[in-house]
Chain A
Amino acid sequence: SQQGEEDPQALSIQEGENATMNCSYKTSINNLQWYRQNSGRGLVHLILIRSNEREKHSGRLRVTLDTSKKSSSLLITASRAADTASYFCAPMSSGGGADGLTFGKGTHLIIQP
């Protein structure tokens, strides 16, 4: 699978504000996934958006996908201190991804109280 590139590398906002992070990839995908990693913990799967979807919601999370631009964005609304974590995108190419997702360096999000 190909690697996504997250942007920005670091983001610091005030609690209650919205946080937006972006992901770019290079070749066509079957789906794109977002993960969160709290410090010293394993990754947690947040949301999966398929190539034929343009937007998806899960609680305070909103993910968009623009396959023409090969990009995705993750929006966290009304941020909380507990949202402080690193966020990774993982584009999955066709073939089911059995050969492993590839992760970039992520966006390190800090929510200031």
Chain B
Amino acid sequence: SQTIHQWPATLVQPVGSPLSLECTVEGTSNPNLYWYRQAAGRGLQLLFYSVGIGQISSEVPQNLSASRPQDRQFILSSKKLLLSDSGFYLCAWSVRGGGSGYTFGSGTRLTVV
């Protein structure tokens, strides 16, 4: 069966420090991969999506970047965190070709202090 792993679950980082969040998917090949952010009291904002290794599309210009070094690995990074980067980060995958639901990870609560 397919599973998605996202870590860490919580993270407290100082302003200006780097960030690396990792997401891996098991039990499927060639998934579409997504990073979302949910700020307090707000909806989910799509940050990045990827349809293949090395293929990253950005939805919102910001302080973050994403990479997909392997088929089932999706990494969210920042060189220097801002206070506004605080939020709940969710990774998700869907079947290539679409038409099906998304499976979300359990999320990372990032607090930038």
Contacts and interface: CB of A to CB of B under 8 A. Distances in A.
A43 interface: yes
Interface string A74-113: 0000000000000010101001111111111110000000
Interface of B: 6, 32, 34, 36, 42-44, 46, 49, 51, 57, 59, 88, 90, 92, 94, 96-107, 109
Residue from B57, B59, B94 with most neighbouring chain A CB atoms (10 Å): B94
Q: Chain B's interface: helix, strand, loop or mixed, by majority?
A: strand
B102 A45 contact: yes
Contacts of A105: 42-43
Residue from B6, B88, B101, B106 with most neighbouring chain A CB atoms (10 Å): B101
Interface in A27-84: 30-31, 33, 35, 40-45, 48
A7 to B, nearest CB: 14
Classify chain A's interface size: 20 to 34
Contacts of A43: 44, 90, 92, 102, 104
Given A88-B44, A97-B98, 10 more contacts: A40-B88, A41-B107, A42-B92, A43-B104, A48-B101, A96-B97, A97-B94, A98-B94, A100-B49, A106-B43
Contacts of A35: 101-102
A42 B43 contact: no
A49 to B, nearest CB: 11
Interface of A: 30-31, 33, 35, 40-45, 48, 88, 90, 92, 95-106
Given A30-B99, A97-B98, A98-B98, A42 B44 contact: no
Contacts of B43: 88, 103-106
B109 A33 contact: no
Given A100-B49, A100-B59, A105-B43, A42 B98 contact: no
A69 B102 CA distance: 25
B32 A98 contact: yes
Contact of A101 (B88, B97, B102, B109): B102
A65 B19 CA distance: 41
Nearest to B48: A100
